[in-house]
Amino acid sequence: MATVREPLPQTDLSQHPLDPLTPEELRATVAIVRKEAKLDDRVLFETVMLREPEKSVVRGFTAGDPISREAFVAVQDRNAGKVFEGTVSLDDGRLTSWAHLPGVQTRSIGEEMEEMEQLVKAHPEYIEGLKKRGIEDLSKVMVEGLTQGNFGTEEEQTKRLMRAHSFYVEAPGHNPHVRAIEGLAPVVDLNKMEVLRVEDFGVRPIPPETGNYGSEFLSEQRDAPARLDITQPNGPGFRVEGQQITWEKWSLRVGFTPREGMVLNTIGYRDGDEERPVVYRASLAELVVPYAETDNDHFRNHSFDLGEGVFGTCVNSLRLGCDCVGEIHYMDIHMANGKGEVVSYPNAICLHEEDYGVLWKHTDPMTKSTSVRRSRRLVVSSFYTVGNYDYGIFWYFYQDGSIEFEAKLTGILYCAAVEDDKVTPYGRLVAPNVSGMIHEHYFNVRLDMNVDGEANSVVEVEAQHVPSGPDNPHGNAHTTKETVLGSELGAARDIKPELGRYWKVVNQSRKNRMGGPTGYRLVPGSNVKPMHQPGSPFMKRAGFVEHDLWVTQYADNERFPCGNYIPQSAGGDGLPDWTQRDLPLQDEDVVLWYTAGLMHVPRLEDYPIMPVEYVGFKLQPVGFFDHNPALDAVPPHKH
Ligand code: CU
């Protein structure tokens, strides 16, 4: 029997003001900017993305409403050495603003790295430097950009620079990151695309081992594990309409920007008949990896992968059965490259469900009967390859109202080459002549909170001892201390694991059934403090790492903890600066900026490819619900 098709609706009800620009909108934006700003063909597009509407527009939006679309553009005019920002009205098809931003640089752009490799490989001094190291075949050399940073030299204030580091790759498909061609560093003016000089710190041996990790290079493999199938014969438990995901009682919208990568918008939880907001916008806002090595030019290595690199555009296309298993739904991403051409990244965002063990359980001692519920979680994830490292950005949603952020770190160590065993105290020998340099990874996550609405306050909670005495005659008493973070200056805070310190975001105007304010708390995971010295170039530039948590009053243009433009910045912009205004934080629209750090002292086991390391934090309801919100989960036998 033929199925009767419903007529297609006139308006796509899945469309929303926060949807990323479509390929058509990206193309239109680039064309409008090209025409109206009269760009020459050396201009590169650093960013083309949705200019997100104001919150009031999003709040007032109902499916099917007309949507006004605007785009934001940042370009690097390489001939003029200038950065321009513009906005485009896609409704009217015109450039509505265009401005030169003095004293800043855009991030490095993919096309430039390709041009730089060609440029460097044609430079006689570089070719000579390779020859000194016994390398004649340029096809066996991989060139990668390393940011210059800002160490106070004249050229760092005036030129747009990139250093080139090289690796020896014996044959295509060999590990391209373990055989450093040490000590040879051309310095390139990116705007002029010319080699300024080739720095040579002296010849070191090329590490002898290939460091290959593919199964084709292994003589023996272990037996395959027993077959494990994860199937959902009735399909997954989530629904996807456009960028909107609903799963169990959660709802959220998935967005994407070229700098941040995946962004989660308007996260809410359906409680009875009520849709209760929790987070307005959650995103990775910076990832910076400072190194400890003093040898050669490695002291410069503290790249900001979002602010100086191209984190979002490093997103992987995921393949079913490899990165994730089970019933997967993928979302595609579209972005403009440096030339303004639309590039599609199919299967860039992965949605799936996972069984996560026991959700809650009790065996009744009288009846001996056991009640148990299994935990199911929704996983929203994407992977990014930034040079040698691969980062998974995973957000988990749980049935008990929790949200978890987890970064997965894998890929290849950033390796230097050393004479035999002459490794500095700042590196570890991980293979013959290979130094895995000590470093940290700092993930700053921006959480624009929205707990039961916009007016939120932040309270620090930690354990409090009670001295022995009349109030504590048996020495067992202890309680908690709660401190309201009243304004921005005092809200730069640090973890204190021995006191179980956490921060809760509460809504004073909404009470739970025991009379307290509803809230969500940020529970830190493992973390480290910065290791670089106060006043060092890294600490000046990445001031946010000084504290684990910052809280700011929401401001439209504050998206990144070191400010909008970071390449070769001297520091001074961002959280430490903004919070000097000391705006009040009580019953305000608050933004949490939490940094999860991981110190990485390379192990032999990290070579030639690293098993995944994890770092993250949790958001948990605290008095948001009136009781365990997962009480109503269905017993296992009824699944
Ligand atoms: Cu690492």
Q: Is the per-residue pLDDT at 521 higher than 90? A: yes
How far away, in angstroms, is 188 Cα from ligand 1 center?
26
Six-digit token string for 291:
């190194």
Mean pLDDT, residues 389-412 taken together: 98
Over pLDDT 90: what percentage of the chain?
95
Global confidence as pTM: 0.96
331-349: average pLDDT: 96
pLDDT of 622 over the 70 cut: yes
Annotated catalytic residue: which of 345, 389, 391, 414?
A: 389
Q: Which residue has the higher pLDDT, 3 or 596?
A: 596
Contact status, residue 599 vs residue 440, Cβ threshold 8 Å: yes
Burial of 513 (0-12, 13-18, 19+ CB in 10 A): exposed
Token pair for 578 = 């903004």
Q: Is the pLDDT of residue 10 over 60?
A: no
Confidence of residue 638 (pLDDT cuts 50, 70, 90): low
Are 165 and 146 in contact by the 8 Å Cβ rule? The answer is yes
Q: How far is CA 255 from CA 142, 147, 243, 403, 561, in A?
A: 33, 28, 7, 17, 20
Q: From the CA of 606, how far away is ligand 1's center (Å)?
A: 9
389 in active site: yes
Reported as a single tens digit per residue, the pLDDT across 266-289 is 999 999 999 999 999 999 999 999
SS3 for 69?
coil
Q: Among residues 105, 122, 124, which one has the least CA distance to residue 44?
A: 105
Confidence of residue 191 (pLDDT cuts 50, 70, 90): very high
Q: Is the pLDDT of residue 52 over 90?
A: yes
What gap in Å lies between CA 38 and CA 26, rounded to an integer? 18
Q: What is the pLDDT of residue 11?
A: 61
Please give the Cα distance from 229 to 635 (Å, whole number).
22
Residue 548 pLDDT > 70:
yes
pLDDT digits (tens, 9 = 90+) for 209-264: 999 999 999 999 999 999 999 999 999 999 999 999 999 999 999 999 999 999 99
Checking if the pLDDT of 484 tops 90, the result is yes
CA of 409 to the centre of ligand 1 (A): 7
Q: What is the DSSP letter of 248?
A: T
Per the CB < 8 A criterion, the answer to whether 575 and 546 are in contact is no
Cα of 618 from ligand 1 centre, angstroms? 22
Q: Is the pLDDT of residue 595 over 80?
A: yes
Greatest Cα-to-Cα distance within the chain, rounded to the nearest angstrom:
85
Give me the catalytic one of 19, 77, 295, 305. Answer: 305
| Res. 639: pLDDT tops 70 | no
- pLDDT value at 395 more than 50: yes
* Residue 636 confidence (pLDDT): 86
The predicted pLDDT at position 394 comes to 98
Beta pairing partners, 373 = 360
H/E segment holding residue 154: helix 154-158
pLDDT of the residue at 310: 81
pLDDT number for residue 3: 44
C-alpha of residue 419 to centroid of ligand 1, in Å:
23
pLDDT exceeds 90 at position 318: no
Specify whether the backbone of 141 is left (phi greater than 0), alpha (psi in -120 to 50) or beta: beta
Q: 341: pLDDT confidence band, cut at 50, 70 and 90?
A: very high
What distance in angstroms lies between residue 389's CA and the mean position of ligand 1's atoms? Answer: 8
Strands 403-411 and 439-449: unpaired
| The residue to which tokens 């684990």 are assigned | 548
Active site residue 305: yes
Least confident of 13-27, 321-335, 598-612: 321-335
Considering only CA atoms, give the Rg of the chain. Answer: 26
CB contact at 8 A, 607 and 211: yes
- Which of these ranges, 278-292, 313-327, 343-357, 472-486, has the smallest mean pLDDT? 313-327
Average pLDDT of the residues in 516-522: 98
